[in-house]
Chains A and B, each alone.
Chain A
Amino acid sequence: MNMELSRRQFLGAAGAGVAGTALGAFGFGDIEAAHAEAIRAFKLVNTTETRNTCPYCSVACGVIMYSKGDLKKGEKAEIIHIEGDTDHPTNRGTLCPKGAALLDFVKSETRLKYPMIRKPGLDKFEQVTWDEALDRIARLMKDDRDANFIQTNGDGVTVNRWTTTGFLAASATTNETAWETYKVVRSTGMVAFDNQARV
């Protein structure tokens, strides 16, 4: 094949279902085009590509996720393949043994699917609805806050502090989630608020 063609352009054109003409436009001769048409389409052609970064370490390697279905079109989407992003300046397409196995994280058997509650003294979780779980959390938090909130200290200084419930934030959530979490948690006056950076 006598041309410079990026993988991306190729997939874009081929995926449009006009392989013959498009390949011609790319500069294939007739024979090459006929040959190309006879080949079974590349498996990932009918997938949606999405850019992401590896969620594990802070090298933050670029990845491309391939899914059946397109979230942007409001469809259900199932990720079927994840690989390194060759355009990414840090990893240039490479992934380590963790990044290379990301699909198995997405599809892990121990992914959580439903809210669960374990009642005091019991030895198992029970599935509950989101409303039940969230209402319960809000109730528990408010009762504890109302009972223990410290508005002023011994010297009469306004301190507006809540010390009896704590919050440990993640270290792999997005900055945007972090900011929203900051707002929600700090507005309650909670002080035992930390993240994984310390550990």
Chain B
Amino acid sequence: MTNSWTDIKNTDLVIIMGGNAAEAHPCGFKWVTEAKANRGAKLIVVDPRFTRSASVADFYAPIRQGTDIAFLLGVMNYCISNNKVQWDYVRAFTNASYIVKDGFAYQDGLFTGYDEAKRDYDKSTWDYVIGDDGYAVVDDTLTHPRCVWNLLKQHIAVYTAEMVERICGTPKEKFLKVAEMISECSSPTKAMTSMYALGWTQHSKGSQNIRSMAMLQLILGNIGIRGGGMNALRGHSNIQGLTDIGLMSNLLPGYLTLPTEKEVDFDSYMSTRGFKPLRPNQMSYWQNYRKFFVSFQKAMWGASATPENNFAYDWLPKLDLPSYDVLRAFELMNQGKMNGYVCQGFNPLLAAPNRAKLTASLSKLTYLVTMDPLDTETARFWENHGEFNDVDSSQIQTEVIQLPSTCFAEDEGSLTNSGRWLQWHWPGGTPPGEAKTDNWIMAQIHMRLKDLYRKEGGAFPDPIVNLDWAYADPGEPTAEELAKEINGKALATVYDTADPTKVLAETGKLVPSFAALRDDGSTTCGCWIYSGCFNENGNNMARRDTSDPDETGAYLKWAFSWPVNRRILYNRASADLTGKAWDPSRKLIEWDGEKWSGYDVPDIAPTAKPEEVGPFIMNPEGVSRLFTRGMMRDGPFPAHYEPFESPVANLVAPNVRGNPAARVFQDDFAQFAETASAEFPYAATSYRLTEHFHYWTKHVWVNAVLQPEFFVEISEELAKEKGITHGGWVRVWSKRGSVRAKAVVTKRIKPLICDGKAVHVVGIPLHWGFTGAARKGFGPNSLTPFVGDANIETPEYKAFLVNIEPTTGPVA
């Protein structure tokens, strides 16, 4: 989230699209209710199903899953055509005025530079014209035909209300009503908030779904302000934290990136991470990259990371591929190229797509290790459970080691919520049996590996045997010790660069924040964006002061919000070019002639002059991007692409199948249903229920009672067509698998008319498996295709094709 849960009360319009907060984030949704009750805010829901959120919405519009980009570009087109743009914001705070290189173009669904064999682009033309002064060339009048604004207008012109209706199946008048309501938020005194979740991410163009809304929010001037923002509701309690700390194949903590093998040494690695400002006076905060990187290396390898060995640069693995994400890992397993796999609190047999492929892949491993508080399907993938897990154990040679871990109630530490608040929690119970904390388990594995390498030698032991491990009990580091490491400390006295007489941190002390980090090896810091979480003031994540001056919803003294306790990102953009709040009733920070101050921690240097320094300090432009240069694999503007399995062809680019830049493994392509397939005619989607959390709560008696059994949802129309009765058994199958379920026949789903064709939606909730207290059942992943988003490889769970027929119940 750019904002926070408690900030939602400040909004005028909530749009829930790509999520279902009332169902999946109930206690966060209460802030929507607050806004509605206290400010008269309105709620719009756009979803293929009439969801629980829709049931309390002021306006609901249906949409075919996988067509959000067409819808959003349609809204953008409406706003621009009707002059519903916050012009001052767009001119000053976006790259609308930047001139784009001549070679760049878009035609028939493809941008310049497409290589069909590689399913990838040569992105060299996707960039600005750079002038002789080294800065990007701009045209403040927005009249230059090659400026971003005019290219954008041209790019979205095709997405008219009629086109939206034909692609999305949203009746034109409903679309126009939504567009009109949204467009009102172009006023500087009106704010819209976007609340989305996996309904947007789980597509082969998930990143561009989100980008489309971010662009719309920029055009309306809704980023950086109270009640506005892009608010990813997120799933698990610490999905934000795990990502912030960089537990991703290509990341280092704090969104630094792992080297690729093209970056043969530290200098070449740093040469692509210079982040030279693209406009005069801009902060381009990533210019501090080296400080964050070196401090991270010092946190990893302590005294062994020296200037002489480039702070152990070579001890990090270098990537030969863009990423070794979870889909690639299973592909490698399936090809016999991976031997071992460790799952720490992760149940991929139900969480990753195409279950048949997952089972085959796990069966090829030499060893599998799992660590969980609860039993999982993954740990028992080799065990026969009839139709629910039809395997022959004797044919599976994988050795499986299942480790019992503690649960939240027995563990200490911080979790980062979707609003970026790091909140500390304390243990209150004794773990059952011999269950151990993850901290203990990971330390034990490390100590044993280190011992073996010391005794036996082996492949490149240096990074293992020299890992900094100075904990009071090396067998179980405490949460406090680790939190201090994440925060960082001074190895030598750190002085203020602006005033060398001022000491920022004495030797051996915790650094106050990342501003004190240095690139000469004199500081350590595990994750720079978290720096400040546990400093000499104490554990800021454990703060519990609920004061909130003027009830802005900021709660600056509650827990710690990254970065540097800032509650609303880009909050400099809440004020106009002179530094005055666009909307005085929504003031966040203002410029008093000398400095910035207000309700939140300023997202700008405190003395940066408003006319000079732009609000988007992480970008070398100092402004936000409507055109994103070569930073996304599938285009600098979003474009409508159908899901890989689609009931209809792409209307704006009939020859393009799926997202042309999404990676597809060869065998998986053969397992996709054809476009408009007669064999698999129905558009399926997956989702969560409020009574369950993924695959955990089927182990929880109360929740297993509340929602005991797997079902699928279909419309009355489809039920009639197929002779399916409410509560009757159905078989649902895709090109990859088949499941048996109870049918829920509902008015909540209606067929959508897309370009004259009726498209039936099949809804498949995801909470059942073959372990736990609930009845045995299936998950949608028995059916879903093995393909991910072009940029981050999130599987396409929300849009795929199935068939359905009535069947008989399981034999008792």
Contacts and interface: CB of A to CB of B under 8 A. Distances in A.
Interface stretch (B171-179, B234-242, B505-513, B717-725): B234-242
Contacts of B399: 117-120, 140
Interface stretch (B71-79, B131-139, B447-455): B447-455
Contacts of B690: 96-98
Which of under 10, 10 to 19, 20 to 34, or 35 or more describes the interface residues of A? 35 or more
Interface string A137-158: 1111110111011010101011
A4 interface: no
Contact of A97 (B339, B427, B703): B703
A113 B404 CA distance: 6
Given A157-B261, A166-B338, A197 B239 contact: yes
Given A57-B693, A138-B445, A161-B317, A65 B409 contact: yes
Interface stretch (B287-295, B480-488, B658-666): B480-488
B373 A192 contact: no
Given A169-B344, A193-B249, A59 B27 contact: yes
Contacts of B443: 180, 184
Interface residue SS majority, chain B:
mixed
B484 to A, nearest CB: 10
Contacts of A55: 237, 407-408, 415
Interface stretch (A16-24, A27-35, A38-46, A76-84): A76-84
B653 interface: no
B594 interface: no
A25 to B, nearest CB: 25
A170 B367 CA distance: 19
Nearest to B384: A123
Interface in A50-95: 50-62, 65-67, 69, 71, 76-79, 82, 87, 89-92, 94-95
Given A137-B369, A173-B344, A148 B794 contact: no
A98 to B, nearest CB: 5
Contacts of A168: 326, 329, 341-344, 346, 348
A96 B27 contact: yes
Interface residue SS majority, chain A:
mixed
Contact of B318 (A67, A106, A116, A161): A161
B375 interface: yes
A74 to B, nearest CB: 11
B558 A89 contact: yes
Given A142-B453, A196-B239, A191 B5 contact: no
Interface residues of B, number: 161
Contact of B242 (A89, A144, A197): A197
Interface string B694-710: 00110111110010000
A1 interface: no
A167 interface: yes
A111 B348 contact: no
B549 to A, nearest CB: 13
B262 to A, nearest CB: 9
B448 A170 contact: no
Contacts of B372: 112
Pick the most buried of B317, B432, B544: most chain A CB atoms within 10 A of its CB: B317
Pick the most buried of B314, B345, B483, B546: most chain A CB atoms within 10 A of its CB: B345
A56 B373 contact: no
B239 A166 contact: no
Contacts of A166: 324, 329, 332, 338, 340-342
A166 to B, nearest CB: 4
Given A104-B701, A175-B241, 19 more contacts: A98-B697, A111-B407, A120-B397, A121-B393, A123-B383, A141-B449, A144-B340, A158-B264, A161-B320, A167-B342, A175-B414, A175-B422, A178-B242, A181-B247, A182-B526, A184-B445, A189-B317, A189-B463, A194-B325
10 contacts: A53-B237, A53-B408, A71-B428, A99-B27, A108-B699, A144-B367, A145-B458, A158-B264, A165-B341, A175-B527
